[in-house]
């Protein structure tokens, strides 16, 4: 890491890799110096199309000969652990797209290896940047919302069959790790875990209703927390035309409703609605993330975390709660 510049090696040339290229092009002190692809030609095209003027194509992380500080993993869900471990062993920091990976043991190995080699592991859960989510987290931690007894999460999205047909692995169990719970609702499930931790008991029902694919496109889960609080999650990519993500929180002091990570209803005894009317972050309405601002913030935070030797805003450990809950949802099937 030079005094003024931080260099990333970007792994993957798909949809979200383009978001990273756009983000880095807006950040003067952060560069992509290499792009890892299974095809040298694809890497060359990606570099040219995305105006990554400092980058060279690379076959793999370990064979890249130029100096770099960290990797960005923009490969499919089940392909994060291997490059994360490869980078950690080289002493390189790791910033990975969600999800961490799709298997408990592999996630544990990623976390352990990053800790062992003293490199940072950051995860792209950009909903954590929502000002209203930040305010609520703070208030929940300080007990300012009263005794919360119910939380209901609704992530009723729609994806056409063309989305699942756009790559052979989409909607597969062995590479995507599942369907609407792990691929789409995970952002909201991360916020649920960030607010309330992990439940004690989880049951679920899910299936594939309107798409041709292996994994689920609709499901529901019921969660019971150690303090008795009851939460429900509905996750879907089958609810045409797709709806705003919604979280409803009820306590002995009143109720809060968030839509797309913004407070739209606030009745909490003795406290004024803290909602901040700000531009929304990417909320899962589509596959592409055209607005690069959230990824810019995540990368800037990650670089500061490395420089200041602190945990990133979304650390690997904190992100692993969402995958753990999703594994329990998949294992808790009753139908």
Ligand X SMILES: NC(=O)c1ccc[n+]([C@@H]2O[C@H](COP(=O)([O-])OP(=O)(O)OC[C@H]3O[C@@H](n4cnc5c(N)ncnc54)[C@H](OP(=O)(O)O)[C@@H]3O)[C@@H](O)[C@H]2O)c1
Rule CB under 6 A: say whether 5 interacts with ligand X: no
What the block records as the tokens of 303 is 């670089």
Contact with ligand X (CB under 6 A): which of 1, 5, 14, 137? 14
Rule CB under 6 A: say whether 57 interacts with ligand X: no
Instruction: Classify each residue of 72-111 as buried b or exposed e, where b means 16 or more C-beta atoms within 10 Å of its C-beta.
Output: bbbbbbbbbbbbbbbbbeeebbbbbbbbbbbeeebbebbb
Rule CB under 6 A: say whether 52 interacts with ligand X: no
Q: Beta strands of 161-229 (E only): which ranges? A: 201-207, 218-224
Please say which residue, 55 or 249, places its beta carbon nearer to ligand X. Answer: 55
Rule CB under 6 A: say whether 163 interacts with ligand X: no
92 neighbors 8 (Cβ within 8 angstroms): no
Please say which residue, 75 or 292, places its beta carbon nearer to ligand X. Answer: 75
Helix (H), strand (E) at residue 278: none
Tell me, residue by residue from 119 to 158, as one string, x for binding to ligand X by CB under 6 A and - for no binding. -----x-x--------------------------------
Rule CB under 6 A: say whether 79 interacts with ligand X: yes
Contact with ligand X (CB under 6 A): which of 92, 159, 194, 282? 282
Helix (H), strand (E) at residue 257: strand 254-259
Please say which residue, 19 or 202, places its beta carbon nearer to ligand X. Answer: 19
Q: What is the bridge-based pairing of β-strands 218-224 and 262-268?
A: unpaired
* Residue of 57, 124, 66, 67 whose CA lies nearest to 95: 124
Rule CB under 6 A: say whether 82 interacts with ligand X: no
Contact with ligand X (CB under 6 A): which of 47, 55, 88, 97? 97
C-alpha to C-alpha distance for 257 and 132, rounded to whole angstroms: 11
Contact with ligand X (CB under 6 A): which of 29, 38, 51, 104? 38
Please say which residue, 119 or 186, places its beta carbon nearer to ligand X. Answer: 186
Whole-angstrom distance between the N-terminal and C-terminal Cα of the chain? 52
List interacting residues with ligand X (CB under 6 A): 12-17, 37-39, 42, 74-77, 79, 97-98, 124, 126, 167, 169, 183, 282, 287, 289
């Amino acid at each position: 890491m030079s005094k003024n510049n931080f260099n990333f090696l970007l792994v993957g040339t798909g949809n979200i890799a383009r978001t990273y290229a756009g983000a880095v092009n807006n950040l003067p002190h952060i560069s992509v110096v290499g792009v890892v692809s299974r095809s040298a030609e694809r890497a060359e095209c990606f570099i040219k199309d995305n105006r990554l003027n400092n980058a060279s194509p690379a076959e793999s992380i370990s064979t890249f000969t130029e100096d770099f500080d960290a990797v960005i993993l923009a490969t499919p869900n089940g392909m994060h652990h291997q490059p994360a471990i490869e980078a950690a062993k080289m002493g390189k920091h790791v910033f990975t797209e969600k999800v961490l990976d799709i298997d408990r043991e592999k996630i544990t190995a990623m976390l352990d290896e990053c800790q062992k080699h003293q490199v940072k592991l950051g995860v792209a859960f950009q909903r954590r940047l929502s000002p209203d989510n930040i305010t609520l987290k703070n208030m929940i931690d300080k007990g300012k919302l009263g005794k919360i007894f119910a939380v209901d999460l609704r992530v009723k999205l729609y994806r056409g069959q063309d989305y699942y047909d756009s790559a052979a692995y989409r909607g597969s169990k062995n590479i995507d790790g599942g369907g609407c719970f792990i691929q789409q609702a995970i952002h909201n499930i991360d916020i649920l875990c960030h607010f309330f931790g992990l439940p004690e008991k989880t049951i679920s029902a899910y299936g594939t209703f309107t798409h041709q694919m292996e994994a689920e496109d609709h499901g529901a889960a019921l969660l019971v927390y150690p303090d008795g609080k009851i939460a429900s999650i509905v996750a879907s990519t089958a609810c045409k035309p797709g709806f705003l993500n919604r979280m409803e929180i009820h306590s002995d002091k009143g109720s809060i409703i968030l839509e797309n990570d913004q407070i739209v209803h606030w009745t909490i005894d003795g406290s004024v609605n803290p909602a901040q009317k700000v531009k929304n972050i990417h909320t899962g309405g589509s596959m592409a993330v055209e607005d690069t601002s959230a990824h810019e913030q995540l990368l800037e935070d990650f670089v500061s975390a490395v420089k200041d030797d602190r945990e990133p805003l979304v650390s690997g450990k904190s992100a692993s709660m969402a995958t753990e809950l999703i594994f329990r949802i998949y294992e808790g099937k009753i139908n």
